Amino acid sequence: MNRRKLFLFTNKFPYDKDEEFLETEIPILANYFDIIIVPRYPLGNIRPIPENVEIDNFFIDYLSNRKISILGLTRFHKFIKEFINSKKIISYKSLEYFGMEFLLKKWYKKYSIDSTVIFYSYWLASQAYGLTQLNKNSNYKHIVISRTHRWDLYEDANIYHYLPLRKEILKDIDKVFCISDDGKNYLTKKYPEYSDKFEVSRLGVLPQTNLNKGSKDDMFRIVTCSDLVPFKRVHLVVEALSILGKKVNKRILWSHIGKGPLKEEIEELANKLLSKTNIEYKFLGYLKNKDVLNFYANNPIDLFINVSESEGLPVSIMEALSFGIPVMATNVGGTRELVDENIGKLLPSDLTANILADHIEQFINLSEKDKLFKRKNALKRWNEKVNALKNYEDFSKRILKLLNNKKYH
């Protein structure tokens, strides 16, 4: 196989935690490319990576040897121009984008890069912008691609309800790979002039060795998995279970995987509302991805719940589906592409605790035949939509095709 070089720009991966999806994607991508990962925050422990994958610690090496107070002031005229054109309040994020352009031009000088390399930004943010600008001052026109997920895609999901330099990125980038149909439709509606650059390439999870069998005793087991942050709305699960406890006699065990700034608040609410009821609960804290999968493989789970007010296409749902676990989730982002009546329940985006409690009760009261039907369909949905072996093989081949079709000078 004629191998090409791919530079992958991440936030942290392979350091520390987060961007866990890349743990599955990289080994498959590495079958097609020699990869150099350029993490923005190269700090912490390094996760396992294939032999033909290198790490470039440019950012920590460069910044540790220089005093840079406000990056990007050399391009301040761009900041002013954007402010005038957009008539919006521009956040500090704009300066961050110009600073990234400045740094990547320094990074680029390290390499003798020809036209056959690919620049891949994992997020449609400052690194994607900086990479598109490299082409304007280099001897080659490089392929630049980016994935886009949630916070880097939906402006309403951003704290400022605004994302800088969208048109500048889209004008110069080769392809944007959205992880859901909803994401592609969002970009197409907002930027129709660049619609030919938008494609769907879903993330995925690997096949599981052991499927989840569900409970065989008189307890009903629910799992949630998310950071404890406001937009995940985990408090609704606590409140719904409190309501449910007064309506059903069945013992219920709720386990939550994940931590975050609302940890103490959510635990206090659970202690207040669920103590001395038929609802048991466990806060398992942060688990590494392999430990999450191990939990699903070795513990009966009857229902996975996601009540977020905003999503891209949740990997947590993909993982549940891969074990054949029914899913109940809110109709936000691309979730509707995975969740429906056949595998669980698609909940309204303006969810209340009472509505959630009613739907959990309805699920509990399903016949064993209907529950088994949903479990089988959950596994089928995973294989059709988010099987990592299929999705990342396809993604790799699409990048190669993009490169082979490119005309170079």
β-bridge partners, 5: 34
CA atoms within 13 A on the CB side of 172: 18
Do 185 and 41 fall into the same domain? Answer: yes
* Mean pLDDT across 318-347: 96
SS3 for 308-337 is CCCCCCCHHHHHHHHCCCCEEEECCCCHHH
Reported confidence tier of residue 156, pLDDT bands at 50, 70, 90 = confident
The region of weakest confidence among 59-63, 266-270, 301-305, 314-318 is: 59-63
Q: How many CA atoms lie within 13 A of 134 on its CB side?
A: 29
pLDDT band at 93 (very low <50, low <70, confident <90, very high): low
Phi, psi (rounded to 5 degrees) for 367? -70, 160
Are 90 and 153 contained in the same domain?
A: yes
Band of pLDDT at residue 374, cut at 50, 70 and 90: very high
Counted domains in the chain: 2
User: Measured between alpha carbons, how far is residue 404 from residues 4, 46, 358, 398 in Å?
Assistant: 11, 33, 54, 10
- Residue 409: pLDDT band (50, 70, 90) is very low
* Predicted pLDDT of residue 157: 75
Contacts of 5 (CB under 8 A, 6+ apart): 33, 34, 35, 36, 116, 117, 118
The model carries a pTM of 0.85
Phi–psi pair at 70, nearest 5 degrees: -130, 105
Which residue, among 105, 109, 115, 120, has the nearest Cα to 141 in the 3D structure?
A: 115
> Residues 9-34: what's their mean pLDDT?
93
238 and 167, same domain (yes or no) = no
pLDDT at 212 over 70: yes
Residue 160: pLDDT above 60? yes
- Sign for the CA dihedral angle at 79, 81, 86, 89 comes to positive
> Six-digit token pair at 399?
């990048």
**For residues 269 and 275, what is the distance between their CA atoms, to the nearest angstrom?**
10
Identity of the amino acid at 31 = N
Question: Residues 15-27: what's their mean pLDDT?
Answer: 91
Q: Closest Cα partner for 387 from 210, 205, 179, 211?
A: 205
Predicted local confidence at residue 71, as pLDDT: 43
Q: Report whether pLDDT(325) > 90.
A: yes
The reported pLDDT for the residue numbered 74 is: 39
Question: What is the arithmetic mean of pLDDT over 337-345?
Answer: 96
Tell whether 159 and 246 lie within a shared domain. no
3-state secondary structure 111-133: CCCCCCCEEEECCCCHHHHHHHH
Residue 273 has pLDDT above 50, yes or no: yes
Which pLDDT band holds residue 132 (cuts at 50, 70, 90)? very high
The answer to whether position 130 is within a domain reads: yes
Measure the CA–CA gap between 274 and 113, rounded to whole angstroms: 60
pLDDT (average), residues 225-232 = 94
C-alpha distances in angstroms, 336 versus 178, 317, 397? 15, 11, 27
Q: Give the residue-averaged pLDDT of 161-190.
A: 93
- Look-up of token digits 């005309």: 407
What's the mean per-residue pLDDT of the chain?
88
Domain assignment present for 24? yes
The answer to whether residue 409 is domain-embedded is no
**Confidence class for position 202, pLDDT limits 50, 70, 90:** very high
Please determine, for residue 408, whether its predicted confidence score (pLDDT) is greater than 60: no
Position 213 in a domain: no
Report d(CA 329, CA 305) in Å as an integer: 6
CA 254: distance to chain centroid? 24
Whether residues 12 and 128 share a domain: the answer is yes
In this predicted structure, the answer to whether residue 285 has a pLDDT above a threshold of 70 is yes
- The answer to whether residue 209 sits within a structural domain is no
Task: Return the percentage of the chain with pLDDT > 70, whole number.
Answer: 89
Are 344 and 263 within one domain?
yes
3-state SS, residue 7: strand
Structural domain contains residue 183: yes
Would you say residue 322 lies in a domain? Answer: yes
- Beta-sheet pairing, 175-178 with 198-200: parallel
Residues 287 and 189 in one domain: no
Tell me the per-residue pLDDT of 36-75, one tens digit each, with 9 for 90 and over.
999 998 888 999 999 999 999 998 877 666 544 334 333 4
What is the rounded average pLDDT of the residues 163-167?
89
Same-domain check for residues 354 and 399: no
105-114, 303-312, 335-344: the lowest-pLDDT one? 105-114
Structural domain of residue 278, as residue ranges? 219-385
Tokens of 38: 């350029």
CB 123 within 8 A of CB 149: yes
What is the per-residue pLDDT for 100?
86
Note whether 151 and 117 are same-domain residues: yes
| pLDDT-based confidence at residue 338 (cuts at 50, 70, 90) | very high
Instruction: Name which of 149, 209, 158 is nearest 177 in CA terms.
Output: 149
Asked if residue 369 is part of any domain, the answer here is: yes
Cα distance between residue 356 and residue 345, in whole Å: 10
pLDDT at 81 over 90: no
121 vs 133: CA distance, rounded Å? 13
| Predicted pLDDT of residue 70 | 37
Same domain assignment for residues 41 and 154: yes
Query: What pLDDT was estimated at residue 407?
Result: 55
- Rounded Cα–Cα distance for residues 29 and 53 (Å): 10
Average pLDDT over residues 324-341: 95
* Same domain as 377, residue 393: no
Partners of residue 282 on adjacent β-strands: 255
- Predicted local confidence at residue 89, as pLDDT: 47
Identify whether residues 343 and 399 lie together within a single domain: no
What is the reported pLDDT for 64?
65
The CATH code of the domain that includes 244 is 3.40.50.2000
